[in-house]
Structure 1
Amino acid sequence: MCTYHSRNNFTVKVIDENKTIKAENEDDITHTYYQDQYIIKNQKVDYRVDIIPKDVLAGCYLGFHIYNDICQDDNYQERLLPPDIFKVTKSDEPSLLSISKSSDTEQSSISCPIKRKFIEHGPLSIALSPKIIDLKQRIGNENEIKKNISLNSYTRSSLWHTKTDSIIVYRYAIKKINIDSNKSFENYVLEKMARAIKKRGVDLLKYSIDLSPTYSNVRKYTLEKLSLLLNEDLLDVDILITPGMSVSDLRNSCISNKIFLKKTREYCKKITENILSTPDNFLSCIFQRHIAFNQKNSLDSTNTKIRFSPRKDKFLPKLKELIVDTISNLPRSIIYEIENLDQSNIVNALFSDVHGALISKSSIKNLNSFFNLNKNKFVNIKFDNNLNSLNDLLDKIGNLVRTSCIFHEVVFLPGESTVEQLSKYLLSDIYGISSKFHKKIKLSAQNILKHQESSDFIYLKSNHTKSIAINTTDREELQIPKEYLISSRLINIKMKKIETNDNYEHVIKEFNLNSYRRINLFSMDIRSNIYEDAIKKIDIDNDYQFKNRALDELGTYIISRGFTKLPLNLSQTYSNVSKYILDKISPHINDIMITTDVLITPGISLLDIRYKYISNIVFFDKLHKKCEEIVKNIHPIPNNYFLSIIQSIINFGSTERLVITHKKNKLCQEVKLLIIETISNLPNKIIHELKKLKQSEIVNGLFANIHGVYLSKSLIRNIQLLFNSNKLPNNDHIDNLELINNLLTKLFCQVKRSTILHEGKIFFPGESTAKLLSKYLLLDMYYIPFKLRTKLKHQKHINDSILESNYKKNSVTNIRNKIESSLSKNTILVPQKKSKWNYDLIPSLNIYELAISMINIDKGNFEDYFIDKVNHYSLIKEYISKKEKINIDLSTTYSRIKNHISKIFKPFLKEIDKETKEKVRPTPGMTVGELRLAYILNEKFFDKFRKFCNEVINSIRSSYDNTLTDMIQYHVCLEKETDKAIRIDKKTRIALRKDITNLLIRNISNAPEIILGTIKLIPNSKFVDEWFSNLHDIYVDNASLLKAKSVFNTVQEKVIKDPLLSESVDKVSLNIINKIKKTKNINTIINNHIICKKTSIHNYIRKLVREDLPSLKGELRNTIMIMRNDKIEIADQKIRDEIFDKLGSNMIKTTIKSYKKLCLERCKAHKSKMENKKL
């Protein structure tokens, strides 16, 4: 890594261009060409001159010389824009006028081709307090702020690749911030190194400490932490630029950007909080590896440099304090640095050279958007045959150019001749039209803004249009429909109206599907999204900090093996880190996309879709918060948990290998830090990778080839939601045919409104395509035999308006509602499974306990360690000689570990169960998904659970428990398909105790994170069991059913103790014995028994139960909650009556069964007595 020296005389490392947050070269700011740039030749120019004659060019008057090349920062010359040196005040106007009049009569000694404004002397730096720009004064007369300029000869420019990030001025200011301005950190370092300095005999009067690498790293760290805020695609804080502005006004506009400064303060507050909670050793990479002392007298020919390599840990607390202070004071530091930026830096940060005109970058954003939508309009077409279309596009470009701010001494709008010439240049940039063709096209003479009212809208970002002030009439004409603006969760490109049949045909197309072949719709390849694809491409450790640390830790070992000249290959570790991060973040990405996915519509190009995913502000904001949560949860995880991520074998070149199995623990902390840094900056890294995606990669990320057509993956995700919420009660497709046909109708509506990619264009499927495709997808979803396809028919009785209303909302935020309203509101949700209900079926389920029972043991490297401990067995040696790897069966051990973990957690879960249910409970209007989310976001539970896990881990480490060795199975099979096994003796089990302990600790420490992921996988039918039970096709809350159960127990006891029924038991039991041979139906025998006034036993029981039904209604007089359409509701009177009827019927049936059971028991007793008498 090379260094350069700044004007402040400290060494700064050049940030690697592969870093996620690249520190732009100073060329981006200071070496961009713009016209009429002036440089002071003599620093001793007399600035006491107050007024200059109007015929004298300011540059010539001050002795300016114009250079073709721009000076570097280390040249002792300043680049100066004459218009910003002086400024007229009202108090000076009379003297100015008098001098100008006198000068009119004199012959000017210096001729000047360009008119200069009268300007008053002013300081180069602006005032400390930003001034408010009066836009009314700035705008004034439209003719005064319009100017024609000479453009360069035409040379084609790739404008859509031009960097349009105007907020680069803030990044540049951050890079120039003076770190440790009060020298407190430097003094602290000197104090801690005092003994070593004295020992080496370093005279601090002659030598100065060089901490510039650390300061540079602090700046880089600050930029990385602010990367999401400073991202040009996400930040809606464009700097206000209006006609009439001078450079000082532009500087003031940067400083007075309240939105940016407010967001910066908020971000800095969050960042400092996170840093304060971060362990000091995580910041060690920021402190320089070597500390140099340079001789102060640089003219001394014997100039030497003294280097120290002290331990970093003693400096880290103060380094953290330095970083926190730097970030806390960042907004003020940014303002200070902008106040002191060169004028050329200000101009080049806000404007870009386009064909010789400095156009504001905000205007270029609008031009880029227009280019992206129209650059493929003419393909393989002769331009002479499309003059009308070209002129129409030229008019639209002209409208954009007219409102584009240009800088030349001051900010102004272009005059008509400049508008026409520049518009032609830009049109050629899009389509590659030769400049000779410019004579054949021209701007319309009419008022184009008004003429455009019936034309296609120009696609502009809302935050770009605010950067220019135009008159009221123009502003009204340029109003853009809300659905075109990227300011909400949904980015919607509207097509031409498709109400008429002619236009509708342009976006609908019939397709020929392949012959049916079953597809696994829920495979990872089909379900993956473009954000996950981007994560897979992220360059892990792009600054090589982990690799350098690995070299430090393993250097001696590597040198001893003679591998010093060969490249170190850590690709397997990087791959494992990427996989770990993807596993952590994928569930969150899928959850966030439910409400923030981009809507893809016909007519939009793939590049535009990519842009929409890049600029999906709401998605990245939510992802950023999730990443912060994940990082917070990773911090307490023990370092050795990450041991399995580090590769055991390092390859050097293609032939040499180095085994580091027993040295990996030295790198655990570093790989953990690598994971944290990558996740912390994940949103920006994803954006960076999305920008680099090729067209084929965009297609694979957004569409999947299913049954011969490229379907949107958004549809597949919606289908999965539909499937999860509508599983069949059983596997009998014939019995569930009606439900399947209802789902087919629902699925058809989804398919009809989804998009298909064909030959690079996007269409809606036609009617016949949608019908056949929906059948295919339904067969895939429910594994329906192909022979039943003829029985699948769309249900006409389902209200189409209800089904299609979800899609007319045109918002992905309503995906949940689409699923929930799949059936009519008056239809009760069909339960997942049908069973005969009784009061004993009311579950006492704990979701967290259920999630723990579902987890799979994280094996880590346990099997490798196991094989190392048993490799002396003869059978193992035999297998190793034959095979490179042995697949041993340790399933019994893993099962014991899992059961042991469940036993550990069970008392804690029972203890906290009451508190959990007070925190997480269903409420009316809540969906199953929201209830699930409440469990996931129950931070109070997870904080206590993590604390409990840490206590358990500490207990395991501090005690010697023999039960751990007993978990290791006694017999281990080699290969599951063979019967060969080895017996693990006591000595080997004792040797494995440390490994089995680490295995247990790893799974306990990671249990909170695993539970979070597992809760999302619990089926809805199982998930609702904690709160609801299926009462004969109605999901009723368990609390109400438990009240009903108490009434039932009372009623049943009363019935059984009824005198008449008690007396009849003996008679009925004897009847059963006598008549069972003739009448095998016991119910008939019992019911034929008359108990009172010609009343059968069953009717008598019904009468007794009905007498006590009012007590049931009284017990359930409070609110009863039910669940239908996957939404929790309060039961209305009709549903309450239905519930009471079902409960009453169930009480009667259950009581009759109880009486029958009593009779059968008495019958057995009679039979036993009779048999004893015979004996």
Structure 2
Amino acid sequence: MNAHFSTDSSIVNNIDENKNIKNNEIYDNADDNAAYEDKHMSNNQGCYLSSTILPKHEQSCRFLSIHTQDDLCQDNYYQEKLLPLDIFKLGGYNLLSKTNRFDNNKPDSLYAAKHTLIEDEQLSTEPHPKRIDIKILTDDEKTHASASPDFTEQAIKDSSMEHIEQTAQTYPISNENSIKKDIGLKSYARSSLCNTKYYPRTLYRDAIKQIDIDSNGLFKKYVLEKMAKDLKRRNLLESSIDLSATYSNIRRYTLDKLSSLLNDDLIDSDVLITPGMSISDLRLTFISNKYFFKKLRDNCNQIAEDTRATPSDCLSHVFQCRIIFNISNHLNSANTRVKFYPQKNKFLQELKELIIDTISNLPNNIIYAIKNINQRNIVNALFSKIHGVLISKLLIKNLKSLPNNENKFSGRFHDNLNLLNDFLAKIGNLVRVSCIFHDGVFLPNESTVEKLSKYILSDMYGIPSVVHKSLNLCDESIHKSQGSSCNIELPSESMDPKREKTRNDCEHAQVKTTSLIKNTHQSKQHIITKELNMRYYYKINLFTADLTTIYETAIKKINIDNNKTFRNSLLKKIGSYIASKGIIESSINLSRTYSNVCRYVLDKVSPYISNIITTTDTLITPGMSLSSIKNNCISNKSFFEKLNKKCEEIVESINVIPDYYFSIIIQNYICDSNKSLKISQKKTKLYPEIKSLITETISNLPNNIIHELKKFNQSETVNGLFLDIHSVYAQKSLIRNALLLFNYNKLPNNDPIANLDLLNNLHTKLLNQVILSPILHEGKIFFPGESTAKLLSKYLLLDMYNIPFKFHKKLVPYKHISDNILMNDCEKNSTTLINTSDNIESASLAKPVLIPHKSSKWNPDLISSSIIYEEALSLADIDKGDFENSFVDKIKNYSTVKRYSIKKEEINVDLSITYYRIKNYISKILQPFFKKIEERIKPVCNMTMDEYRLSYISNEEFFDKLRKFCTKTVTGIKNISDSKLNDMIQNSVRLEIKEFKTIIIRSRRKILFRSDLEKLLTRNIMNVPEMIANAIKLIPLDKFLEKQFTRFDNMYVDNSSLLKSKSVFSYVQKKVTNDHLLNVLVDKISIEMIDKAGKGNSIKGTVMRKIINSYMVCNKLSTYKYIRRLIREDLPTLDKIVDNIMIIRNDKIEIADQETKCKILDKLESHLIQAAIRSYNESCVKKYKSHKSRV
């Protein structure tokens, strides 16, 4: 029996040899003076045998290295990194002593003598219980008294635990259990809550690690029977066999299979703590956790079935590599250790049965383990030590859910006392109702609440302890009276005037806090308003604020492939290939594929949800509870009807897309707990299935959203509907409407002073929206008070138009404008985007989503002929690897560098010029390849922009050719001459140290870096396919489209159609240039311009063009009309050449209808005429200048 210590130095636990899960370190080596070593192969048993000397009482087994840590990267669109679980990395357990003693040198903690644990006896419920002095139980002393009957009944009946703030209001704590205790806290020292774990379910892991494997000894007996001949030959005792490594591996296998369940946040929802509970009561909360054990039994049954269907060979890693027999030597203090290396296959079938038996009986074994688990583990599972106090882990969990506002204070703590007191009150409310463990389970008294709350406030927001004296936490009675004051009825004339106070120095605006309810006749609607403390103004970028709707948040939580259709199809088509590689089918992880499907679906429906939500947003009124708001979201019939219609349209558009476009959504690697397998070459068989999975997910999206919304807790509901703006939780719909108002009312020249009237008008409109938009405060819904609404609307206006705060005094709303006028005016300016849903969708979807930022004269020579892959390579970054570190090591002999290396200062070098040259070198190598293999993706009708970009990334044919080319290129790197490699290294390198220095790299020294350059080139050339794929994702959409589409008259038209028209342009230009009649008139027109200008005088360009275009050619036709007639003769040719024209509309590629095609051809005709006339004008001007120079 050895003493084992957990990662917390205060927790000590004695673990039985058969139950202990050992460290990753392996103690197989005996003393240096080994007695003998006998190695031979037994022909009968096939065992490799060796023996060494083992010190007495030394453990003889260790873990097998089951997991390997590989970084598996998705080499296309979605990058994945699948890492094995690390739940057995128990390096924190240190073997500190061979005896069962505590370390007295450790500081006082929960388990030190200063804080003795209470035994399994129910605490007295008197208000001031006496201190109970009891001894700490050892493993041999397992006395567990019965739990208190009242709590037992409650623990069985309760099935879930609400949020702590709600518990504080609704969960009644009886007087007999209201045990409060004063705890003397030490002086404040900063503590990090981020590193504190708050999951009680860790006790279940500990219980699994301590379950007894092979309790009936059948597996051990079977192993001994198979090794009977060896035992007899070596005269070994059966009792000396050590199978603890196999038992440990079975526990590890079990934990690995149950990792998803043990990581579920809901499994500890039934674990409740109330004042007055004994440790037996705490123990019973884990044993009576109905939700966990129901889930556990379901999972165990499934795992047992999967294991039974798994080939025995796949479980060979569970059986230990060697079997050890420990022979006691009475002559000295050492043990002789005899090792056998048997053939595993003869034990695997029985091992499989042992695993199945262990998993099947796991629920009962866990209950038994918890009943016998050390008391310290129970306390440690429910409480954490913060500032010397063992506080409930549930409190830590709720504290972490509070918003982090540390960056809002900017060091001005004394200027923000009101805001700090507000946060302190929230923390105090949580601390008051949270249990502490101090010789028992108690509630903290008011003095402890205040002090601990201030400490936690400092931890969370970085507030120095000197500010504590300036903070005031109202006691519980005052808090309750303040909470009830919100319900006082006041006549409208008794309202306190709101005061707005601005401090110029610190730009601080503060409003006096009042709470008000206007109650009219019972039949009239209640109007509930509330004034809030708003902190001083700081700029917020509203355009990057998280305005994700609650429905989009629900989509992210949807369970993809719930009926396992895709998974079953995968196993059916490539299951034999997977099994041949030794991977267990039942444990395959497809989470990356499901995540990609969810992301794809969200990208498809998000634009439509944003449009639909504008008119079908959830109705929120003052006085509503958060649960009522959530129910309104679920019962939003209008929203779900429109979403269902859009989903049907999306499914129709996806059906016409080729299956291979979705290949990138399938992960390249599949893996179980032990191995990973690349399936890139097998994905073609799964293209129809992944497409079917996507369409099925979109078709069922409304129902799935409703299902997920029902599971939302209060925090998720709040985050989906409200946004913290200037310390006010405002509706996201308010921010959307404010941004909509901004988009339709841009300031000319961005000058606020010149547009003061417009800003005041916008302020009035925005104020009207704010007044009618409910806010959330302390879990209740209110309308903002008048002063709060004015200040918030002013802040929003400053944010949107980027106006300095000093300008805020000039913003005064027009009080004489009535609400109706404001609403009508707002509707007019926003083209009824707020009130008419049909108009919204038609207005937003009828116009092209991708509109060129600026219009310019179109030129057919500007049509892009470059390749998107070549463009992506130019945007990719060089993979530096360890080149810079190696470079610094090789220049340490320089005197400048040596001086700083002696001081052990960090030295950074600027090698940007070298990287630039390497990038150019790689581009030149690949340029012939790009020219030879021009892989252009043809746009498909109804393809979205994301799908179009995705088609380039998933072009496996191109990337396969590119990989082969890169492999061939890398083989020739060693043949590159030294001079060419030397030219890549820059001559001067800048050192980024305290003082910027530059060193010169001579040519003779550059040869030292040849091997590093070869590695750098090899790595980057081999990574070119991945670099290109990743760079394509980052190319701005307008730049990406210009490689296949061209901005033409406020729309995007495909280049292939425009290139066809380019040939007509060339022909028309040539026709005008060669026209005999026009050529004859050039001299006459130039002479007329000279006569009009007079001798020695110049003529304006406008006059020149007028003379040229109006000059009569024949039959009363001017040059302009004559050229236009020539061009129109060839327009039918243009119509025949340009057949189907592809355009982009509504973020989709479409074939232009006849009307749009006619408009495009008309514009092409206009451009043709203009180009031809411009060319003829230039000829005449050139001739004019030639004649004038001779005069």
TM tier, shorter chain? 0.3 to 0.5
Taking structure 2 as the reference length, the TM-score comes to 0.46
